[in-house]
Amino acid sequence: MKIISYNVNGIRSASSKGLAEYLKAENADVVCFQELKALPEQIEESDFTSLGYECHWFSAQKKGYSGVGIISKEKPLLVERGCGHALYDAEGRVIRLDFSWGSVLSVYFPSGTSGDERQNVKMDFLNYFFDYIEDLKKSFPNLVVCGDYNICHQAIDIHDPVGNKNSTGFLPEEREWMSKWFASGMVDSFRTLHEGVAHQYSWWSFRSNARANNKGWRIDYISISGILSERLKSSGIQAEAKHSDHCPIWVELK
């Protein structure tokens, strides 16, 4: 089983750059999207249904902002939009699909880059989401939490850890949360199989030719819990896919 996670930074923009052709070549079972920047009626679903996918979207109330979605070749038992928090649900940050083998979530964590107020929202989201997942595990222990977490966990995950030590996305309190997250039973699917491998990033700034020079950040993760973590076969980052300022990440489960 192959699962892809991709912050597309506008699904309509990504579609215009060959997203459907990429998905056809990859032939994944489940694809999680973040930052749709579109309402469901603005998305050309035929790009995905023609490849055999069911489409499930959860857009932000604000047009052109945030939003998450999951497309799947297997019909889910249940689709759950939102995480029970008025603000985060209005911003379209969490969607979950339940299957007989486990549950897949697509999550778009707040970035905190626009100032102290949004940084506070980000930290509040982290605390709320941690408790939300801990509670969810009681009923759904086998989770795949895909998304743009907007945090680099370790120095190896960012091109300039010294220069960015005070930057949102690499703040000590954010990194501590990631450590707590992975200590809670969630598995970092990429780092588990690629321990110590440097210069592996999933996002690059549009500034200063950052992507061409591979001055990036690894802020996208597929975290796995329960027996699914024991079925982890392979994982990777596809930096060569260029439909967004992020790139796709993926896992294969036995």
Catalytic residue (choose from 47, 89, 124, 148):
148
Share of the chain above pLDDT 90, in %: 97
| pLDDT tens for each residue of 133-151 | 999 999 999 999 999 999 9
Give how far Cα 52 sits from Cα of 13, 42, 44, 93, 102, Å: 21, 20, 14, 25, 21
What the block records as the tokens of 171 is 């703040």
Q: What angle do CA 134, 138, 140 make, to 5 degrees?
A: 95
**Strand ranges in the chain using DSSP code E only, listed in sequence order:** 2-7, 30-34, 54-58, 68-72, 78-81, 94-98, 103-108, 143-148, 187-188, 203-204, 216-217, 220-224, 232-237, 249-253
Specify whether 148 is catalytic. yes
For the segment 67-80, what is each residue's pLDDT rounded down to a tens digit? 999 999 999 999 99
Confidence category of residue 21, pLDDT binned at 50, 70, 90: very high
Assess whether pLDDT exceeds 90 at residue 186: yes
The pLDDT value given to residue 115: 78
The predicted model scores a pTM of 0.97
Token pair 């680099």: residue: 152
Query: Which CATH code for domain 2-253?
Result: 3.60.10.10
Query: Which of 61-65, 115-119, 150-154 comes out lowest in average pLDDT?
Result: 115-119
